[in-house]
């Protein structure tokens, strides 16, 4: 496999990450639906998950499920509980 030149390298995309809080730190389900949205820039949906996990001092439970169209789903755990993450591309560019 040949290395990619800079012009062939993937340029970062903007992703929206939907975070759903599933359980608290004791493993108890949370009342109601607790959803938060975040954006990040990455070369792939899997990279977006990795960056998000790292920024939130968390770990992935299981594997990152990748889907066509730069989408992914993952489950993460951090000291405040367990969450699902749904990652999908957005059409807007990051503001610098």
Calculate the alpha carbon distances from 10 to 1, 2, 6, 15, 44 in Å. Answer: 16, 15, 8, 14, 9
Q: Would you say residue 13 has pLDDT above 60?
A: yes
**Does residue 96 belong to any structural domain of this protein?**
no
Determine the Cα–Cα distance for residues 39 and 17; give it in Å rounded to an integer: 6
pLDDT at 95 over 90: no
Q: What is residue 45's predicted lDDT score, i.e. its pLDDT?
A: 94
Q: Is 95 among the domain residues?
A: no
Query: What mean pLDDT comes out for the span 25-46?
Result: 91
Looking at the whole model, is its pTM more than 0.85?
no
Domains held by the chain: number: 1
Considering the domain boundaries, does residue 5 fall inside one? no
Give the structural domain span for 32: 13-89
Residue 61 covered by a domain: yes
Please give the mean pLDDT across all residues of the chain: 86
Residue 2 maps to a domain? no
The answer to the question of residue 17 being in a domain is yes
Average pLDDT over every residue of 59-81: 93
CB 27 within 8 A of CB 40: no
Q: Is the predicted pLDDT of residue 48 greater than 60, yes or no?
A: yes
């Amino acid at each position: 496999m040949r290395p990619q030149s800079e012009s062939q390298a993937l340029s970062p995309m903007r992703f929206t990450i939907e975070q759903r809080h599933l359980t608290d730190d004791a493993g108890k389900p949370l009342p109601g639906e607790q959803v938060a949205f975040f954006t990040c820039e990455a070369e792939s949906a899997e990279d977006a998950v990795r960056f998000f996990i790292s920024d939130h001092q968390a770990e992935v439970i299981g594997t990152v499920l990748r889907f066509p169209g730069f989408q992914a789903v993952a489950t993460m755990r951090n000291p405040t509980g367990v969450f699902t993450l749904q990652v999908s591309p957005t059409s807007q560019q990051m503001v610098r």
